[in-house]
Structure 1
């Protein structure tokens, strides 16, 4: 009893980490939210930043998270991604419980009784009358299979299976070895997929709690009963374990995964301490509760369900593969599946910086280590290979964000070197892999011309990345470098065409040729969307013309002043399009380039309009259904957007600035990693009372509609008074900082 009292006292004085771990918020997490409607989230068992994401591969195996609402189940594989767009990756080391003969051409099964909860997936396989229940830890998966009465029950392991799509993965080779009647190991080697990456190898070691009466292997489509191994001949291989079962008999498997080798996969099973499904699942749920408990909320049960599920989604990727890097030896942390930083730099990584800065520090260190050994920091990375770059070299913004928010233990000097390499040295070869494509144009003409793909997105994004370089250089005392990149951060203005008019507004981002001439208006439109080979990537000029996060003040000037800028924002958020599932007005909430725009009203002194747009978005585009996320979750990006605005503020990434919007909950307590708390209260907050009437920050009146990270990094308080009508608050106070006003 004495020891328990001491522990309790310690928690009071060292923070809430132990106390929070006792709070069970798992009931608010619904992994079904966002599986349909384009959310593409992974719904299977995993832990925060876990390497293993264990779940079913369904249908045609062309769903990027493996799970599909329809179609047969082929089996349960151990490596997936979450929330990505059309890109596929992984789906490796697949297992399935069957009865009867193995039909290698198609062993898939219809399903029923499917149930998904936090760290648990279960389903009945109707073809075989078997049932599966899955859970997972960081580097290992746990399978519990229930069989009918049968003399020919089997567990099959397919090392030639993987997810497929238009960006095809391809089998390089596989190998399997049966070590005993309860053990098997091997690997699957795949190349390609979303980032068109080089080969990656997933090794496994599996052990069963029940000895098999018979075993065998296969290669390609030929079975080899009794044969204990199949060597790698660039063909599909697999293995099977046969059992004589009584009705309801359970056979459990523990599977370790590694990117290093089968011995490492076996060693990774050391984290699996039990053969009891519930004990293993509880271990995983406890890890999630440590994350979820960092935010304690007072508000509606419905909103809590959306919020905590968003927390869950935000902490799925990138993946912690420290000790699992097959490409070089290093003492630095190693993270993979940055899928992609173009998505996550805007809200997801700033969320890590706020709640788990030590983990964000490790991620930054891993990016710098990748630069040291692979030559570039990635804009995206998966399967231990860089690619694809979508717009800018957005890792630059992560470095600046870490520096201005005071993250320690980062080699900022080397980070600056990597940022300058992005800005100065053309990547050569495949410009979608890493670095900045079209950089020769950008550094000579002052913009990326139409002879390069994604010229518009690149020019505007490179300008913000240059601001990030200048930010880091200035803080390191390198004034000359800082001035150079501050100047380059104005390059977005070089493709701003004052002569283009749309919906009563003049001046838009516009294609510009290498000779300085503009693209004719009959060849391009402010509503023209694009992708990889086009002028703009996953956006259109009406939207991308707002993307000047480092100098909104100059953007306001280019748009004709504050009044005209406010009118322009009003048009953007109200002019209806036909495809309103993905848009709110012209606001493409389903994609990242528009993420920051709702808060741009703050730069013009109208935070009440920010509140209106944000609250409408939270109310109409997020819900607790399977279509509850407004577009690809993109490694937690959509979810992190919700989290910040539900708390009442949003980051301008790469800057020490949070822009106030409209808090959704009556109270929120954030338990910070340093043991301090940030307490947020929103008196009178409701669906009607969306407007801020007044704010007190750390006990002092705040008359401006923004604050700095340093104001809350060591805990504190944000006290909102909310009302049903716009107030004068924030309209006359100091406006958020911009490059041209600093």
Structure 2
């Protein structure tokens, strides 16, 4: 009997120990979202990523702001080495110019309403895909925030004090805190803050702003609620505090207005604030808040955000690799899921359930990699974007390169590149789009746009490209001419099925006009043949082929002639011939990349490395892809602007071992950098990519099988993987020029 009792006791102890160890094992195992490091792209300030959390393509993006942010590089106005000023609800991530910064909150002990008066050093900072947290050292206030789609909930943990305050500043915006953004371009125009009741636990209002990237004014509505009724409340106007006031309105441009709530708090007392943002109305903001965060369960909202990110990230599952490589990969997948934002049913411009996808900063960046990636992982976003393009054309009469805060930006960065996004989805069979309506938009762009930007006194600017065959020397004339040529090629792909024979012939012929800017005698470092500007009379203008021309300047947009001389996505074979054949072409391209004459910190360079395939040097494509991945991507960031997920999408494709020629059905093969990657398509079919014998030395493809069949070409088509399948790489250290 004693033996039986001892045995039972041992069994119980064993089961308890097993359960405990199993629980610890489960708790220590990483879910995919745990690999996301929100400090990547923040440590490297040039990457311009936002440190605060948001949901996939969600509207709200709460994040801390600090002084000392450079508008060109710190788009969320956050500098890791600076004190925290407060928390804005709207930001854009990874762009070359900023926007938003509203609606601004500052928890304090004491009350300082001036813009520069409440900065606090920080400690215990944490940042994940689904939550941001920090302790404000000046006030000993722990601040945490987690997002829903249009709303967020804050948890403020206060010390014992009778001077606990939460400040709401609706006049604050990005221009107040960023350097490098001229004040004349950034204004608070009008707005109001109002307590909905004398209890002071709900505030509503709006702000009207102008400035930042894109044109026009924009209006933001909000509804905020507090978990505890304040001891006292009030508003402020240009620094003057009015205790007990329930309403404050702006009286003129650039006024400073807001509200505050005051509490007597116990040590470590938690007070919650939840806030929703709308671009439609206060009623809509209130509705978002009611439906998305109905209670005060902070942990529930955080878990929901965590679950949504796990679901999004599970579309790309990598096996093998180091922990660091997984962090870089999954943070890239995270950064590629921010923008554009889904603002369907959150505008006064479009009707109920009309798709509205906003915050394109800009499609010039995203058409090349982000949208082709989403064709694979989230085609509903792609179809939603295209349907949004169609709706914008019908309502606004135009669809521009940048569309931010529901406003088109007048100046394009390049061509009519929405055409490329539409064509890419069309040739890959994305569902959910009325393609006849989509083609109407593509045809409108081809027939009525292609006008360039501003080229002197000639009235009929469309004659420049459409009749001459090039845009005469001027602002971005070369780069825009090249992009128009590719836009026309993409339009021709659709016209072949959806348009007339005349349309098809016209667009296809125009797509070949890029050769008018090719000067076979232009020389740089002993190499000849480059894209150069040409006058109205047909004579070339001698230029420095290496010069980076900047933004909205003469000849080339954010690049040099070396870079743009390889931007011929639809006629690489012709480019090789015009460059003197395969050997000379590959020598010239290798020289350019080796000597940093092609700027891979910007999108026009993305396809240059893949051009090696057309010179029978696929080994060089594999070599340089890996070289760029190693040199340009780390746990700090990606060196240059993330560009709304464009850079991260480049990295993800490079990890998978194939790369899109966006607008066409082609992918170029360079070999995967993980032993196994499982890509889950929206139809739940899976594309399984394996890489046998891969190592840091074995970077060259030895053989390939696609869907279990040997493959000997350096490219394949989308049809081969649209329903899932397999790509099997065998890697080695032998550099085969051809597969």
Residue matched to 1:225: 243
CA distance in 2, matches of 1:430, 1:563: 38
Following superposition of structure 1 onto structure 2, how do residues 19-418 of structure 1 map, counting pairs within 5 Å?
24-35=31-42, 36-60=44-68, 62=71, 63-85=74-96, 87-113=97-123, 114-164=125-175, 165-166=180-181, 168-180=185-197, 181-195=200-214, 197-234=215-252, 235-269=255-289, 270-300=291-321, 301-387=323-409, 388-418=411-441
User: How far does the alpha carbon of each residue in 1:277-318 deviate from its partner, in whole angstroms, 9 at most, with x for none?
Assistant: 222111111111111101111122221111110000000100
Residue 568 in structure 1 maps to residue 575 in structure 2:
no
CA distance in 2, matches of 1:528, 1:213: 59
CA distance in 2, matches of 1:271, 1:570: 53
Q: Equivalent residue of 1:122, what SS?
A: strand
TM-score, normalised to structure 1, is: 0.90
Following superposition of structure 1 onto structure 2, how do residues 583-732 of structure 1 map, counting pairs within 5 Å?
585-624=596-635, 626=636, 628-727=637-736, 729-730=738-739
CA distance in 1, matches of 2:721, 2:77: 40
TM-score, normalised to structure 2, is: 0.90
Comparing 586-595 with 538-547, which one deviates more in the overlay?
586-595
How far is the alpha carbon of 1:478 from its aligned partner? Answer: 2.2
How far is the alpha carbon of 1:128 from its aligned partner? Answer: 2.2
How far is the alpha carbon of 1:329 from its aligned partner? Answer: 2.1
Q: Equivalent residue of 2:540, what SS?
A: coil
How far is the alpha carbon of 1:621 from its aligned partner? Answer: 1.5
Structure of greater Rg: 2
Contact 2:472 2:536 in 1 (8 A): yes
How far is the alpha carbon of 1:729 from its aligned partner? Answer: 4.3
CA distance in 1, matches of 2:545, 2:593: 19
Residue matched to 1:8: none
Residue 485 in structure 1 maps to residue 519 in structure 2:
no
Q: Equivalent residue of 2:626, what SS?
A: helix
How far is the alpha carbon of 1:135 from its aligned partner? Answer: 1.1
Q: Equivalent residue of 1:529, what SS?
A: coil
Please list every run of 5 or more consecutive structure 2 residues that lacks an aligned counterpart in the other structure. Answer: 1-28
How far is the alpha carbon of 1:511 from its aligned partner? Answer: 1.1
Q: Equivalent residue of 1:144, what SS?
A: strand
Q: Equivalent residue of 1:413, what SS?
A: helix
How far is the alpha carbon of 1:272 from its aligned partner? Answer: 1.4
CA distance in 2, matches of 1:89, 1:363: 21
- Indicate which of 430, 441, 458 corresponds to 2:480: 458
Contact 1:156 1:238 in 2 (8 A): yes
Aligned residue pairs, count = 689
Q: Equivalent residue of 2:65, what SS?
A: strand
Judging changes above 3 Å, is the alpha-carbon distance between structure 1 residues 34 and 525 closer, same or farther for their aligned structure 2 residues? same
Q: Equivalent residue of 1:118, what SS?
A: coil
How far is the alpha carbon of 1:393 from its aligned partner? Answer: 0.9
Residue matched to 2:6: none
CA distance in 1, matches of 2:329, 2:116: 40
Following superposition of structure 1 onto structure 2, how do residues 5-16 of structure 1 map, counting pairs within 5 Å?
none
How far is the alpha carbon of 1:570 from its aligned partner? Answer: 1.0
Judging changes above 3 Å, is the alpha-carbon distance between structure 1 residues 354 and 496 closer, same or farther for their aligned structure 2 residues? same
How far is the alpha carbon of 1:358 from its aligned partner? Answer: 1.7
Q: Equivalent residue of 2:723, what SS?
A: coil
How far is the alpha carbon of 1:150 from its aligned partner? Answer: 1.0
Please list every run of 5 or more consecutive structure 1 residues that lacks an aligned counterpart in the other structure. Answer: 1-21, 576-584, 731-742
Residue matched to 1:505: 527
CA distance in 2, matches of 1:480, 1:460: 22
Q: Equivalent residue of 2:638, what SS?
A: coil
Q: Equivalent residue of 1:73, what SS?
A: coil
CA distance in 1, matches of 2:395, 2:427: 26
Q: Equivalent residue of 1:564, what SS?
A: helix
CA RMSD in angstroms comes to 1.9
CA distance in 2, matches of 1:182, 1:427: 54
User: How far does the alpha carbon of each residue in 1:467-522 deviate from its partner, in whole angstroms, 9 at most, with x for none?
Assistant: 01111111215221011011000111111111111122211111111222221x3x
- In the TM superposition, structure 1's runs of 4+ consecutive aligned residues that sit over 6 Å from their partners are 427-432
